[in-house]
Amino acid sequence: MEKQQFKAESKRLLDLMIHSIYTNKEIFLRELISNASDALDKRHFLSLTNDEKRVNQEDLKITLSTNKDLRTFTIQDTGIGMTKEELENHLGTIAKSGSFDFKQENKDAEDIDIIGQFGVGFYSAFMVASKIVVESLSANDSQGYRWTSEGADGYTIEPIDRTEIGTTITLYLRDNEEEENYDEYLDTYKIKSLITKYSDYVRYPIQMMVEVSRPVEGKEDEYTTELELQTLNSMVPLWKRNKKDITEEEYNNFYMNKFMDWEKPQKVLHYSIEGTLSYQALLFIPSKTPYNFYSQEYEPGLQLYSKSVFIMDHAKDLIPDYFRFVKGLVDSDDVSLNISREILQQDRQLKIIARSIEKKIKSALVDMLVKEREEYESFYKNFGLQLKYGLYSDYGAHKEQLQDLILFYSSHEDRYVTLKEYVERMKENQDVIYYVSGDSIESIKKLPQMERVTEKGYEVLYFLDDVDEFAIRMLQTYMGKSFKSINQGELDLDTEEEKAEKETLKKENASLLEALKDALKDKVKDVTISSRLASHPVCLISDEGVSFE
């Protein structure tokens, strides 16, 4: 056994790997499983292209085990394995990716989703292990080898007896530290949860012997514990399956489990985009406003997967803020990830995907508005406020996107309407969109000035949220029509006849108006004959140009 030395640079690199690249120690499992999955892909590919190397699909798998006494965590695969040279080159050289080379050499293997590319993932295991032993027999060799390393001071390679093709990696966990308990990686529950989080959709079964306790038949309160081989991952990602074959219940359960909601989603959006940047998306609109939706606590953003491996949660850049109520995930083979695979490297790719997602959500909402009005209105009750905030934010930059999604309660048939519906049924002589602000539908209905406007046959939009006036201010006009509060300035509702009548009334009552003005002189600017009123004697209005009465 001859001890090989890492080059000095490699030592420093290894140190960097362990301490700086990853923010999260637990991702070592994601990396090792991704490597095993790649190795299985390669063996499968070999089996397809070489009759002598045939292997049964059901023999391709990953097995996990732990030894609490030795404090070891072991991951075994029946993949392609590594020859002595490969152990040296791929594990002994940091930033050397055998998987990357494999893809280069086997162009026809392009459509197998090999995950590795940077040649650093393996070393993430040193974040949790002080010593790593890799035993492997390559499908292209008859001699097995053991590679052993305790990190920076190098590695040894020795021949071993091994008959099973594949690789077994044993991690000797680091001693527990004050802020880091490595024993948790011996815990079945923890391991299961990490697999679910990162590697649930790896295409090969990830199996482990798990202790299960069962009630003894006929005896109460008595249990036996047995070991049972369990498959920990669900393997096929729902979003990669054909839409036609997925039931509503499957979508609902997936959503409720993954996004921890008690209620099924109101809307499911499942689609796939092929192009310069391909991706699959599975998006959901919740059927209730999350309790913390309008607080700091709410974390918007989509989950990002690359090649079915979980990369990050709450990727905010994938979704515009005004659609932050959308939950779901995006899976793309094409995004280039940074070295830790924790974040995306290219903003541009993200932007292309984000723009495409935004379009999809917008058109799904428009579709719902047109075809399922009631559905849309209940969606709007949950999240309409967010859309109006969106209209208002960024100086109205999103008005094109949002103006047709906004609803207002309207005096027309007492229901929610779109601005388009309003404008399309405007009276011939009407050139503004009337609105009125108030706390509730009831209090608005009681406003004296409402009576005359509606009597004249004009429709009035009710602004019930504080943000409404701000949003409309950003919009300025809709289809060329501006907005006008019926509480403000001149309304110009009168016919010529009525105008003349008003003038006469003004003259006839000049002394009364003077007296009233005098009596209220500290409280109002003017007292005049109004054309706003029908059955009510009096109302308060504000000056043109003064906002928020």
The one of ligand ADP, Mg ion, none whose footprint includes residue 55, by CB under 5 to 8 A per kind, is none
Assess 237 for contact with Mg ion (CB under 5 A).
Answer: no
**Half-sphere exposure in the Cβ direction for 545 (13 Å, CA):** 0
Q: Determine the Cα–Cα distance for residues 141 and 202; give it in Å rounded to an integer.
A: 27
Residues with Cβ within 8 Å of residue 481, at least 6 apart in sequence: 423, 426, 431, 432, 433
- 116 is a site residue for Mg ion (CB under 5 A): yes
Note whether 35 binds Mg ion by CB under 5 A: yes
Q: Which is nearer to ligand ADP, 138 or 401 (by Cβ)? A: 138
The least CB distance from residue 139 to ligand ADP, in Å, is 10
Sheet with strand 223-231: strands edge to edge: 155-160, 144-149, 129-137, 166-173, 72-77, 62-67, 206-215, 223-231
Q: Which residue is nearest to ligand ADP (CB)?
A: 98
Q: Which residues contact 451 (CB under 8 A, 6 or more apart)?
A: 533, 534, 535, 536
Residue 173 beta carbon to ligand ADP: minimum distance, rounded to whole angstroms: 19
- List the single partner that 117 binds among ligand ADP, Mg ion, none, CB under 5 to 8 Å by kind: ligand ADP
Query: From the CB of 206, what's the least distance to Mg ion, in Å?
Result: 16
- Binding track, positions 229-248, relative to ligand ADP; x by CB under 6 A: --------------------
Q: Least CB distance from residue 78 to Mg ion, whole Å?
A: 17
Q: Is 282 in the site for ligand ADP (CB under 6 A)?
A: no
| CA neighbor of 26 nearest in space, from 80, 76, 92, 73 | 73
* Footprint of Mg ion on 208-227 (CB under 5 A): none
Q: How far is the CB of 10 from Mg ion (least distance, A)?
A: 17
CA distance 500 to 515: 23
| 79 counts as binding Mg ion under rule CB under 5 A | no
Hey, is 348 helix, strand or coil? helix
Select 157 or 238, whichever has its Cβ closest to ligand ADP: 157
- Nearest distance in Å: CB 461, Mg ion: 58
- 80 sits near ligand ADP (criterion: CB under 6 A): yes
- CA dist 256 → 104, 193, 287, 381, 537 (Å): 41, 17, 11, 21, 56
User: Site residues for ligand ADP, window 159-218 (CB under 6 A)?
Assistant: 167
Shortest distance (Å) from residue 267 CB to ligand ADP: 38
Structure tokens at 85: 């040279």
Q: What is the closest distance, in whole angstroms, from the C-beta atom of residue 38 to ligand ADP in the complex?
A: 6
Judge whether 540 and 532 are in contact, CB under 8 Å.
no
The DSSP symbol for 315 reads E
The single residue listed with the structure tokens 């899976």 is 331
Using the contact rule CB under 6 A, the part of the chain among 13-21, 34-42, 197-205, 320-328 near ligand ADP is: 34-42
- 29 in Cβ contact with 62 (< 8 Å): no
How many residues would you count in the chain?
A: 549
Which spans in 69-206 are helix H? Answer: 84-86, 98-105, 188-198
C-alpha to C-alpha distance for 430 and 486, rounded to whole angstroms: 13
Q: Is the dihedral of CA 106, 110, 112, 118 positive or negative?
A: positive
CB closer to ligand ADP, 101 vs 501: 101
Task: Give the count of residues interacting with ligand ADP (CB under 6 A).
Answer: 23
Query: 409 phi and psi, to 5 degrees?
Result: -70, 140
Which residues share a beta bridge with 170?
Answer: 74, 133
| Dihedral over Cα of 242, 246, 248, 253: its sign | negative
Nearer to ligand ADP, 90 or 452 (CB): 90
Closer CB to ligand ADP, 46 or 436, in the complex: 46
In angstroms, what is the C-alpha Rg of the chain?
34
| CB nearer to Mg ion: pick between 79 and 121 | 121
Report the interhelical angle of 27-49 vs 188-198 (nearest 10°).
60
How many whole angstroms separate alpha carbon 495 and alpha carbon 501?
10
Q: Give me the torsion for CA of 122, 126, 128, 129, rounded to 10°.
A: 110
| DSSP summary character for residue 335 | P
82 lines the binding site for ligand ADP (CB under 6 A): yes
**What string marks each residue from 36 to 55 as x (binds ligand ADP by CB under 6 A) or -?**
x--x----------------
Q: Pick from Mg ion, ligand ADP, none: which does 98 bind, CB < 5 to 8 A by kind?
A: ligand ADP
* Binding partner of 39, given Mg ion, ligand ADP, none, CB within 5-8 angstroms per partner class: ligand ADP
For residue 293, state whether it binds ligand ADP (rule: CB under 6 A): no
Q: Which of 44, 71, 90, 146 binds ligand ADP (CB under 6 A)?
A: 90
Residue nearest to Mg ion (CB): 121
Does residue 121 belong to the site contacting Mg ion (CB under 5 A)? yes
Q: CA-to-CA distance for 291 and 45, rounded, in angstroms?
A: 49
Judged by CB under 6 A, the stretch of 73-81, 103-111, 440-448, 454-462 that binds ligand ADP is: 73-81
Closer residue to Mg ion (CB): 35 or 138 = 35
Which residues in the 111-170 window bind ligand ADP by CB under 6 A?
A: 116-122, 167
**Nearer to Mg ion (CB atom), residue 29 or residue 350:** 29
92, 98, 328, 396: which one contacts ligand ADP (CB under 6 A)?
98
- Amino acid 4 reads Q
Q: Between residues 99 and 170, which has the closer beta carbon with respect to ligand ADP? A: 99
Among 72, 83, 99, 437, binds ligand ADP (CB under 6 A): 99
Q: How far is the CB of 62 from Mg ion (least distance, A)?
A: 14
Interface residue with ligand ADP among 100, 172, 259, 293 (CB under 6 A) is 100
Site residues for Mg ion per CB under 5 A: 35, 116, 121
Q: Catalog residues that contact ligand ADP under the rule CB under 6 A.
A: 31, 35-36, 39, 77, 79-82, 90-91, 97-100, 116-122, 167
